[in-house]
Homo-oligomer: A and B are copies of this chain.
Amino acid sequence: MLLLAVKGINEENHAFLSQYGIDVVTPDTITEDQVPEVVISYAWDSVIGKKILANPNAKLKWIQTQSAGVDYLPLKELKDFGVVVTNASGLKAIPIAQTVLSYILYFARGLNIYASRTHWEPYTNQYLITELPVLVFGTGRIGQQIASHIKTFGGTVYGVNTTGHAVAGFDEVYSMYNYQEALAKSRVIVDGLPGTVETDNFFDSRFFEQVNQLFLFINIGRGTTLNQDDLLAAIDDSRVKYAALDVTTPEPLPRNHPLFERPQVLLTQHTSWGESVNAGRTGGLFRLLEKNIPTFVTDGTVKQNVVNLDKGY
């Protein structure tokens, strides 16, 4: 069985695949004869991919993407071809959730004050996590991982998703259209929304008008979901005390951007996914592939991270 490694794999990965009888080619080593023989594509190369899909006898059965979103793939064609797609959703949920906890503790424990203190002046206006209920917009894997940490600290965590359906790990879940009750009892908001038409500019002046004495606004979702000017206005009139943004519009932010100039704002420059062992934004992706290999070679099925090709996620 042939695997096309568009994303590089190491010796250990080779050994793993080899024990399941899987041979590896790369976009650099693949021959024309091998193109229709590819059964698994580890990440997607659009040029080779086009050749594969143009050949009705091609053996392609499974694509593992290196992204959570799959909007760049020819989904209808893949469905007609009988190809299954698995995505990278949840790949960096653990590091991102740890970054969110680092934000909350940074401001709650007063490290934001102490980070720049160069003289002795104790600051004792701190909070415990139990004193700062958290409202997470987005109850997918990242949201669930955040909720799990908040609960182990004994805190309170509410979730928001499209319909308000319950999700394990959250104390209560509300819908995108009826979250005000949760907002009123929360001190921290985590924006973990994906970038869609519905979420575009969701956190705008109308949203922040509902907010009073919010301790911390966090964005680890998409920059497009937040109106940054409206957030800055809410900070300037004290409705929002602090903000921690991993994603911004644009990226990179230009020099002298107002977000750089507010001491209340912490910017982590789209690196909340960082970890040491599986370095890089798609580091650790092979572990996702690995999980599906045993069933795939046995009976052709995959179970983890399967994309619904009609819905596109």
A residues 260-276 near B (Cβ < 8 Å) are 260-261, 266-272, 274-276
Q: Kindly state the separation between the CA atoms of A123 and B109 in the bound complex, as whole angstroms.
A: 23
Q: Is A11 at the interface (CB under 8 A from chain B)?
A: no
Task: With both chains docked as a complex, state the minimum distance between the C-beta of A100 and any C-beta of chain B, in angstroms.
Answer: 9
Of A18-26, A77-85, A114-122, the one contacting chain B is A114-122
Residues of chain B lying within 8 A (CB to CB) of residue A126: 95, 271, 274-276
Q: Is A197 at the interface (CB under 8 A from chain B)?
A: no
Q: Is A69 at the interface (CB under 8 A from chain B)?
A: no
In the complex, are the beta carbons of B274 and A119 less than 8 A apart? Answer: no
Q: Is A56 at the interface (CB under 8 A from chain B)?
A: no
Q: Is A29 at the interface (CB under 8 A from chain B)?
A: no
A125-B274 in contact given A102-B105, A102-B109, A260-B118 (Cβ < 8 Å): yes
A122-B270 in contact given A101-B105, A106-B102, A149-B153 (Cβ < 8 Å): yes
Of A127-135, A136-144, A173-181, A285-293, the one contacting chain B is A127-135
Residues of chain B lying within 8 A (CB to CB) of residue A112: 115
Q: Kindly state the separation between the CA atoms of A267 and B277 in the bound complex, as whole angstroms.
A: 29
Residue of B nearest to A270 (CB): B122
A267-B108 in contact given A128-B275, A131-B276, A149-B153 (Cβ < 8 Å): no
Residues of chain B lying within 8 A (CB to CB) of residue A124: 271, 274, 279-280
A98-B102 in contact given A268-B111, A271-B124 (Cβ < 8 Å): no
In the complex, are the beta carbons of A117 and B267 less than 8 A apart? Answer: yes
Q: Is A94 at the interface (CB under 8 A from chain B)?
A: yes
A128-B252 in contact given A101-B105, A102-B105 (Cβ < 8 Å): no
Residues of chain B lying within 8 A (CB to CB) of residue A268: 109-111, 114
In the complex, are the beta carbons of A271 and B102 less than 8 A apart? Answer: no
In the complex, are the beta carbons of B110 and A271 less than 8 A apart? Answer: yes
In the complex, are the beta carbons of A269 and B111 less than 8 A apart? Answer: no
Q: Is A253 at the interface (CB under 8 A from chain B)?
A: yes
Q: Is A152 at the interface (CB under 8 A from chain B)?
A: yes
In the complex, are the beta carbons of A131 and B253 less than 8 A apart? Answer: no
Residues of chain B lying within 8 A (CB to CB) of residue A115: 111-112, 115-116, 266
Q: Kindly state the separation between the CA atoms of A77 and B119 in the bound complex, as whole angstroms.
A: 43
Q: Kindly state the separation between the CA atoms of A261 and B117 in the bound complex, as whole angstroms.
A: 10
Interface pairs (20), CB distance under 8 Å? A98-B109, A98-B129, A102-B111, A103-B111, A105-B105, A105-B106, A106-B111, A110-B268, A111-B111, A111-B266, A114-B268, A115-B116, A120-B252, A122-B271, A124-B279, A126-B271, A128-B275, A131-B275, A131-B276, A152-B152
Interface residues of A (CB under 8 A from B): 94-95, 98-99, 101-103, 105-106, 108-112, 114-129, 131, 149, 152-153, 251-255, 260-261, 266-272, 274-277, 279-280
Leading 7 A-B pairs by shortest Cβ distance: A126-B274, A120-B252, A102-B105, A152-B152, A102-B109, A115-B115, A122-B269
